[in-house]
Amino acid sequence: MPAPSNAGTVVAAVPTSEGLRSSLHDRGQRLTPQRQRVLALFERIGEGTHLSAEEVHQRLLRAQERVSLATVYRTLRLLSSMGLLQELELPEGGRRFELAGDAHRDHHHMVCVGCGRTEEFESTAVLTAGEAAAGLHGFRLLDCVLTVRALCPRCAERS
């Protein structure tokens, strides 16, 4: 299922520990090992993967990095509010998060309602449409997420 889309030339605009530290300080908050661990996890796995809070917790445990589940939740919310992570609303599971990047204002999902298989794709047309709608109502666009519900070839066959 690897979409070959994630071609090269990705200039890391992703905050590392130092960037994260100053961002937090600007808000009167602190850099903690837990926060570093959560962000580092997302950086490690790259932009393509969506994780639930539970999955983040499990992966950290597996990596010998102890972070309580409650803190995972708090940190996911924090990093999202800072714009470092993006929250997704996929039809299937509950809340999921992925690393935010500039590319993500224009990064969409197609989910098979039969088996849950998810493909990602990009489309500037969608972003353009979102901006048009925002302008029309005087809104300031933050990001737009298109979720295409569909049947994958295998599931389409069975129905």
Partner DNA sequence: TTCCGTGCAAATGGTTTGCAATCAT
Partner DNA sequence: ATGATTGCAAACCATTTGCACGGAA
134 counts as binding its own copies under rule CB under 8 A: yes
Residue 42, C-beta contacts closer than 8 angstroms, at least 6 positions apart: 51, 84, 85, 97, 98, 99
Residue 94, C-beta contacts closer than 8 angstroms, at least 6 positions apart: 52
Residue 25, C-beta contacts closer than 8 angstroms, at least 6 positions apart: 31
| Residue in 10, 61, 70, 125 binding its own copies, rule: CB under 8 A | 125
What does 137 bind: its own copies, DNA, none (CB cut-off 5 to 8 Å by kind)?
A: its own copies
- Nearer to its own copies among residue 33 and residue 91 (C-beta): 91
* Amino acid making up residue 81: S
43 counts as binding its own copies under rule CB under 8 A: no
Task: Name the β-bridge partners of 112.
Answer: 150
Note the Cα 112 to chain centre separation in Å: 19
Q: Please calculate the CA angle 136-142-147 and round it to the nearest 5 degrees.
A: 90
52 counts as binding its own copies under rule CB under 8 A: no
Site string for its own copies, 68-107 (x = CB under 8 A): -------------------x-xxx----------------
What does 25 bind: its own copies, DNA, none (CB cut-off 5 to 8 Å by kind)?
A: DNA
C-alpha count within 13 angstroms, C-beta hemisphere, residue 34: 15
What does 67 bind: its own copies, DNA, none (CB cut-off 5 to 8 Å by kind)?
A: DNA
Question: Least distance from C-beta 63 to DNA, angstroms?
Answer: 13
Residues that bind its own copies (CB under 8 A): 3, 87, 89-91, 108, 110, 112-113, 119, 121, 123, 125-126, 128-130, 132-134, 136-153, 156
